[in-house]
Structure 1
Amino acid sequence: MQITIGLSLRVLVNAEALNMAEAVGNYTRHRKAPVVVSTGAGYSVVYVPAVSGESIAHHYQLILAQIAKSRNLPVTSADLEGYFIKFTDKDCIKTLYPELKELNNNLDRLNPDELESAFLKASVVADVGGFLYLDKAKIIKRTSAIRFSYMLPTLDAIEQGGVALIPQLHTRYAPPELMKDYQKPFYVESGSALYTLTAELIATDIARQYYSKQIDGELSKQKIERVKAAIDALIALTDGLMLGAKRSRYNPLWKVKSAVVTLSKGPVEFIPSSGISRTYIAETYSRALQLTSIIEDETINIFAYNDENLEEPEIKHEHKRATYEKAATHTEALAKARDKAVKVLEALPK
């Protein structure tokens, strides 16, 4: 059985430099990505400002490390410093992970399930974000339980000209006697758009061991708290724009306009439709109805926040395994899904 938290949102972001890709001379470029749009007679490709899923995942894991530490859940010093190398190999463990000092002398003697257990007990971030340990004799791979899309402008924003990318002129100041050598202009590309972002968290994968058939008591005991921390990190990430670069002097104006959060329980994962189109709230509910009709042991709860007058679904109250509930904010929608997920997890057989 899979218990999955899905998130899709549309957020208005102005004057941002969240993900810079390269510098050419004194010009720093914003990351761009190709997007396919309909022209009526066919399709064309446009290049738009983007924020990579890797950038978003990095900041999510940093928030998760801070939350886990505050709740006395295990994290490493590397996690707290934002170095998500996650063990990698023997040399990496000896150099960057003093918390695993006792493990160093036994790395060759431990089998994969013992190593996996040790890594999971050392770091909630490695548990949720996944890791890859490489050794000549053994390879241990853990797929991330949290997944992010790129953050891209919505199709309606692109089609209506609501996407901008323009360089802003800045100057490095220096005292008059040094101006000739040090005071120079530079340019930073600034993006503004109505963006969309999709995320997925597989709650049942947290604290779950893949290499061992034995249930570890310590991990099992921490499972609920680890899931809460993982969802709360997602709430913090979207609520306060806890991501991106150049925020010390380029902190963007950020306003979540709408969001859909889903909680699915059953044999398959379910995530909301992408907010790239204005019909995504209604589409998500329609898909949930269809999927739960086909897969009878699947249930989907939907929590929606709508502050941009988007199309909403016509609710089929007789269909009990796909529910729809409105929320006053995107934060409330995520919090409702978190509370429901915890109840579902607590009710599962141990």
Structure 2
Amino acid sequence: MADLHVQNLSLTARILVNAEALNMAESVGNYTRHRKAPAVVPSENGYSIIYAPAVSGESLAHTYQALLAKIAAQKGLPVTEMDVQGFFMKFSDENIIKSYYVKDLVKALKAKDENEALKKLKEMSPADVEKTILKTSVVADVGGFLYMEKKEKKEKKTSEKEEKGPVKRTSAIRFAFLIPALDALITGGASLYPQLHVRYTPEAKEGEQVIIYVESGSALYTLTAQLVISDIGRVLMDPRISDEELEKQRISRVEAAIDALTFLVDGVLFGAKRSRYMPQWDVRSILVAFSRGPVEYNVSPGLAKDYMVKSYERAVALAKSLGNNLIINLYGYNGEAGYLQEPVVKPEVKNVTFEKTATPAEALSKAKEKIMSINKPLG
């Protein structure tokens, strides 16, 4: 692929969410607060700060990895028991591995028992440790991990090989905080309000009945995410290392990673308290980009009504600068017609395309089709 070595999927969506408690931060007495984040908005005198309802990127990433584990398992890809249960400690250190992952490690290393597997891991180079963990878990592959080798006290210096440092794999999936769109904040389109709940008992005895307040939020949220396609199934600490098993699985891993992101965004399948605060949601607009080039291209966040125009114009400017070394395909759904601005396509710029879709799911689907058409299975 010459210099077109970084494949990147990025998206931003404007999602109208009403009466939600997707991310609760703390309880003070009988009052449970919604997470808030400071947002800088333009005002008549410059800029001001508004504390607005928010959902953390960690909350989004947790749900994404849970979805990925289910989808990967259905495809017959390697996932750990902890992945399936929704615990993402991901081989943090030797104690965690001994307690939760050693059986998965025995299988990946084809070791005769747990002691042999742990011994093999300790003797490996950092790059080989990364490769082994990738072969054990698709969630660790896509979601990243940090493995810290156990350090033993040494009484005196020896000529022995230096201890390995941490084995760090940056996550291929990245999420911004879910925050209200700036145009909605400026016009008052975001709110937090406490809802009263009561535990009622037949005799209403003291200590039995409880009054609870849960702070719920409503806003036009902006969801922004990135998935580095070209990192999936590859050993990042030493790109020269190849593995036949990983290469054979790579396309299935990429597809599982895209499918998990599609379900997360299109169905708003994230957040807490969904049993009684299932959000009323509507994906109002979305822009998805697939780029190939020497660097990652990400769409502009959907914070204002011109985000599609900004994203397209940025793509054109970058493509003109880098020439044929950068190709960007954009897919947009506009459910805010008459308000949201759309780009004017420049047909002379061949390596940047923009295609309108009829639904949010279609925008994600078309991006996936493009990615899968370029990434062919081996053989």
- Which TM-score applies when normalising by structure 2? 0.89
- Once the two structures are superposed, the pairs formed by residues 1-350 of structure 1 within 5 Å of their partners are 1-97=5-101, 98-101=103-106, 102=111, 103-135=117-149, 136=151, 137-138=163-164, 139-176=166-203, 179-212=205-238, 213-296=240-323, 297-309=325-337, 310-346=340-376
Q: Tell me the CA shift for residue 57 of structure 1.
A: 0.5
Q: Tell me the CA shift for residue 227 of structure 1.
A: 0.5
Q: How far, CA to CA, are the matches of 2:315 and 2:63 in structure 1?
A: 30
Q: Secondary structure of the residue that 1:107 maps to in structure 2? A: helix
Q: Tell me the CA shift for residue 175 of structure 1.
A: 4.2
Tell me, which stretches of 5 or more residues in structure 1 are unaligned?
none
CA deviations on 1:12-43 (whole Å, 9 max, x unpaired) are 00000000110001100000000111112211
Q: How far, CA to CA, are the matches of 2:83 and 2:208 in structure 1?
A: 36
Q: Tell me the CA shift for residue 173 of structure 1.
A: 3.3
Q: How far, CA to CA, are the matches of 1:210 and 1:150 in structure 2?
A: 26
Q: Do the aligned partners of 1:90 and 1:107 also contact (CA within 8 Å) in 2?
A: no
One-letter identity of the residue aligned with 1:122: T
CA deviations on 1:92-119 (whole Å, 9 max, x unpaired) are 0110113124422423222222221110
Q: How far, CA to CA, are the matches of 1:225 and 1:175 in structure 2?
A: 56
CA deviations on 1:194-233 (whole Å, 9 max, x unpaired) are 0001100000000010234221010011111101100000
Assess, with a 3 A threshold, how the Cα gap between structure 1 residues 345 and 31 changes in structure 2: closer, same or farther. Answer: same
Q: Secondary structure of the residue that 1:308 maps to in structure 2? A: coil
Number of equivalences: 348
Which range moved further: 98-107 or 123-132? 98-107
Residue identity over aligned pairs, in percent, reads: 52
One-letter identity of the residue aligned with 1:74: P
Q: Tell me the CA shift for residue 162 of structure 1.
A: 1.0
Q: Tell me the CA shift for residue 344 of structure 1.
A: 1.8
Q: How far, CA to CA, are the matches of 1:128 and 1:32 in structure 2?
A: 28
Q: How far, CA to CA, are the matches of 1:90 and 1:107 in structure 2?
A: 10
Q: Tell me the CA shift for residue 181 of structure 1.
A: 1.8
Q: Tell me the CA shift for residue 342 of structure 1.
A: 1.4
Q: Do the aligned partners of 1:5 and 1:202 also contact (CA within 8 Å) in 2?
A: yes
Q: How far, CA to CA, are the matches of 1:265 and 1:108 in structure 2?
A: 37
One-letter identity of the residue aligned with 1:124: V
Pairwise CA RMSD:
1.4
Q: Do the aligned partners of 1:260 and 1:272 also contact (CA within 8 Å) in 2?
A: yes
Assess, with a 3 A threshold, how the Cα gap between structure 1 residues 174 and 77 changes in structure 2: closer, same or farther. Answer: farther
Q: Secondary structure of the residue that 2:342 maps to in structure 1? A: coil
Assess, with a 3 A threshold, how the Cα gap between structure 1 residues 24 and 118 changes in structure 2: closer, same or farther. Answer: same
Q: Do the aligned partners of 1:76 and 1:99 also contact (CA within 8 Å) in 2?
A: yes
Q: Secondary structure of the residue that 1:249 maps to in structure 2? A: coil
One-letter identity of the residue aligned with 2:218: S
Displaced runs of 4+ in structure 1, greater than 4 A? none
Q: How far, CA to CA, are the matches of 2:265 and 2:42 in structure 1?
A: 29
Q: Do the aligned partners of 1:75 and 1:122 also contact (CA within 8 Å) in 2?
A: yes
Q: Secondary structure of the residue that 1:61 maps to in structure 2? A: helix
One-letter identity of the residue aligned with 2:104: E
One-letter identity of the residue aligned with 2:148: L
One-letter identity of the residue aligned with 1:5: L
Q: How far, CA to CA, are the matches of 1:175 and 1:230 in structure 2?
A: 50
Tell me, which stretches of 5 or more residues in structure 2 are unaligned?
112-116, 152-162
- Which TM-score applies when normalising by structure 1? 0.96
One-letter identity of the residue aligned with 1:231: I
